[in-house]
A and B are shown apart, each in its own frame.
Chain A
Amino acid sequence: MSSLIAWILRAIPFGTIIMYGAMGEIVTEKSGNLNLGVPGIMYLGGFAGFASAYYYENLTANPNPVLSVVIALLCALIASTLGGLIYAFLTITLRANQNVTGLALTTFGMGVANFFGVFILNGSSYSAAPLANKAFAAKIPVLSGLGTVGQVVFSYGFLVYAAIVLAIVLFWFLSRTRMGLNLRAVGENPATADAAGINVTRYKYVATLCGAAISGVGGLYYVLDYNQGIWATTEQIEALGWLAVALVIFTTWKPLNAIWGAYLFGMLYWLYQFLPSLMGISVPSYATDLIQMVPYVVTILVLIVVSLRRKKENQPPASLGIAYFREER
């Protein structure tokens, strides 16, 4: 029982990282842009958030935890939006190939983060922002102390709850508002949207930038909460970024599915550590990587099932990955 709880306590924060990444990508893809730069954007967001919090803590006499949260969030949002701007300018204005641009952005984001990270690490293998970490990971007082339920439900940093709220807001936005309807039309059939008087370019830009900003928060959450405020040069964020892209497919582009899908991915990702002890068996260490593959396998299965059923509602936006030219004679 206790190891099941430990498993959940591990899975939910893990799921939250990829949930942000996936929700950002859903918004982007709803406009017809397939941004494979999600890992790079999460790097940018994570690093900008960490660096700003780190310098604020170390250069200020009396750092304020709330202010450090605000600064880190703001910097993460700005950095990841800029990453999205690179993608948007190349693919929307210059109509560059979306896949190539996205992959380049991933490499670029990793490179930028690791390059500037060198100056913060200053020779050591990692550096930390403990104050910001404490602020980001602060549990809900009182409620988190209420036994097992309190522990499982209320013992996370505020970004975990913000993610759930955001998923519901996105659901409401996409299905109930005029702008949501217009955005979906842009991703499905830009020519029709254009004919209806919708500014396709503006919708694509705004969706891509907002999507990048949301994805970037995933990187921020990883560094300052999940990874206990520690910055190190690892490739961990990239792996998480790809998992986020896989999660988008798993959710069939529906924000509400991202909530449970992300937690399920978290459970599956940590399967290798908790399942053996739950079942009382031992797994050789070389099998660990194989088990960590399960989320991807599940995604492939979902793809197969969705493709077989051919239900239109579960398909990606019809014009995903295609640049829009207004037809002229």
Chain B
Amino acid sequence: MAQTQYAIRLEHVTKTFGGVAANQDISMQIRRGEILSLLGENGSGKTTLMNMIAGIYYPDEGQIYVNDQLADIRSPRDALALGIGMIHQHFKLVDVFTAVENIALGLPKGERFDLRRVRDKARAICEKYQFALDLDQKVYEMSVSQKQTLEIVKVLFRGADILILDEPTAVLTPQETERLFEVMRNMRADGKAVIIITHKLHEVLEISDRVAILRRGCYVGDVLTADATEASLTEMMVGKKVELDIERPEPKDPVRRLAIQNLTVYNAEGIKVLDDVSFDAYGGEILGIAGISGNGQKELLEAIAGLQHAAPGSDVKFFPPEREHQPMELLGKTPRAITEAGVHLSFVPEDRLGMGLVGSMGMTDNMMLKSYDAGHSPLVDRKAPQELAKEIKEELGVVTPDLNTPVSRLSGGNVQKVLVGRELAASPIVLMTAYAVRGLDINTSYTIYRLLNEQKKKGVAVLFVGEDLDVLLQLCDRILVLCGGRVNGILDGRTATKEEVGLRMTNLVKEDAEQ
């Protein structure tokens, strides 16, 4: 075996965050002159694993060997000294600096400071790998793709020969992706080891030589791309079905509550994040929305709730119970008007306190956020919200020393209960939840499922954006799969298989397969 066959070798690497294992006993190898895809669902531990190689995290257990030498990587600097460079999803660039200035930032002190020499060397790198980059351009004038290119040039400039790219194509157009792949192939031809973190199957098959798969923090295995198909990769990625024993009552006489037609949304950068989405939601059923995060789930819910602008031609109709033949157009209405009509959004963002709750206020005050303008008195009514807070505390078992303890001091699960409880208490007609069980322990998750089922029995139309396919398949009556902002099929929750959903999440199905 050649001495430097493996650029990186991991031996039994484990990393835990607050008792939850993000990576469990992972052993794998990365070779020179190959492009390795690291494939896995959200939260499967891909980025954590790579962050340990790049010096952002330090493994709790296990060893990392770089070029067959045991390496102790404590910081990104250590990683760079070993020739490891990682390009993160969030770029680390100074906006008002030019490309050259950004490259020069933090260069070792030994050499004389000379921006012209930096520029010459950077230009040579650009020519070698055929990067299209104006080195004198300011970063704030650059497109996302150019910034990414600059990040790559930055690590190459520092002599990296092991490159890790964290979901590089998530922000690129197809043409830009093609150009990035071209550059990656050039780097491979130059003998560098290139790792690409992704969950897009067609990209995996197009660019990589080998695929390594992670699932729930564990290493599933690796296959040569030549031997892999989309179906085999999906199966490795999502695994076998796990029985969860979630209750799923049959929907009772479903009534149409929402009719979404041709909903298209552009984000602030002008990229189409929702593309011609059409579906109906019925009272008395739970409609699951599956998809890799960032495929339009957030925008879909926000557009319905009035928090996002929809492109012309879109249409969102709401059918209130009392006037079912007079649908109400939701687009163009203010978020408040939509909430008052009975369409509620309970969104659990990455930081639970970011949206919906004020961290420094207690439960009672957070309840008041929804009721402060009730009645005609100039003074606010504190009694009703206090009652409500008490009710939620008892019913959902919120652990808090006092109703007035700032919610930011509660544990994540309890904060989530407060948030969901408040939305449920408003007796919604349509209830939208996103990532309602993210970060919750099993028992609390089941409490949330039970609450959602209760709402369903009451005839509420529930939209449930979830991450865990097992939960989606066992809780929801129908599952809408979003992929690249498009509806990629609406499946029956009772008959769909995990592989089917997984495949649709990662790959647009060409033919119209709606049931």
Contacts and interface: CB of A to CB of B under 8 A. Distances in A.
B423 interface: no
Nearest to B93: A192
B95 interface: yes
B213 interface: no
Nearest to A315: B96
B105 A182 contact: yes
B101 to A, nearest CB: 6
Nearest to A187: B94
A178 B140 contact: no
A182 B106 contact: yes
B95 A312 contact: yes
Contact of A192 (B17, B94, B104, B113): B94
Interface string A172-211: 0000011001101100110111011110000000000000
Given A178-B113, A312-B140, A329-B17, A198 B105 contact: yes
A182 B17 CA distance: 33
Contact of A313 (B77, B93, B96, B105): B96
Contacts of A191: 92
Contacts of B57: 329
Contacts of A198: 105-106
Contacts, number: 55
B96 A312 contact: yes
B96 A193 contact: no
Interface in B42-99: 57, 76-77, 92-97
Main secondary structure of the interface of A (DSSP, over half): helix
B104 A181 contact: yes
Given A192-B92, A196-B106, A185 B97 contact: yes
B272 interface: no
A128 to B, nearest CB: 48
Contacts of B96: 184, 188, 312-313, 315, 318
Contact of B76 (A177, A184, A185, A195): A195
B105 A192 contact: yes
A313 B104 CA distance: 19
B138 interface: yes
Interface string A306-329: 000000110100100000000001
A118 B76 CA distance: 56
Contacts of B93: 189, 192
B448 to A, nearest CB: 25
A188 B93 CA distance: 10
Contacts of B109: 178
A196 B97 CA distance: 14
A188 B95 contact: yes
A318 B95 contact: yes
A32 B101 CA distance: 19
Given A193-B105, A196-B105, A188 B140 contact: no
Contacts of A185: 94, 97, 105
A198 B105 CA distance: 9
B105 A188 contact: no
Q: Which of B17, B93, B94 has the most CB of A within 10 A?
A: B94
B77 A189 contact: no
Contact of B97 (A178, A188, A195): A188
Contacts of B92: 189, 191-192, 195-196
A172 to B, nearest CB: 12
A177 B109 CA distance: 12
Interface in B6-22: 17
Contacts of A197: 76-77, 106
B101 A181 contact: yes
Contacts of B97: 181, 184-185, 188
Contacts of B95: 188-189, 312, 318
Nearest to A196: B106
Interface in B105-130: 105-107, 109, 113
Nearest to B75: A197
A178 B101 CA distance: 10
A181 B95 CA distance: 13
Contacts of B76: 195, 197
A181 B107 CA distance: 11
Nearest to A178: B113
Give 9 nearest A-B pairs by CB, closest first: A196-B106, A178-B113, A192-B92, A197-B106, A196-B105, A188-B94, A195-B92, A189-B94, A197-B77
Interface of B: 17, 57, 76-77, 92-97, 101, 104-107, 109, 113, 138, 140
Interface of A: 177-178, 181-182, 184-185, 188-189, 191-193, 195-198, 312-313, 315, 318, 329
13 contacts: A178-B107, A181-B104, A181-B113, A185-B105, A188-B94, A188-B95, A189-B92, A193-B106, A195-B92, A196-B105, A198-B105, A312-B96, A312-B140
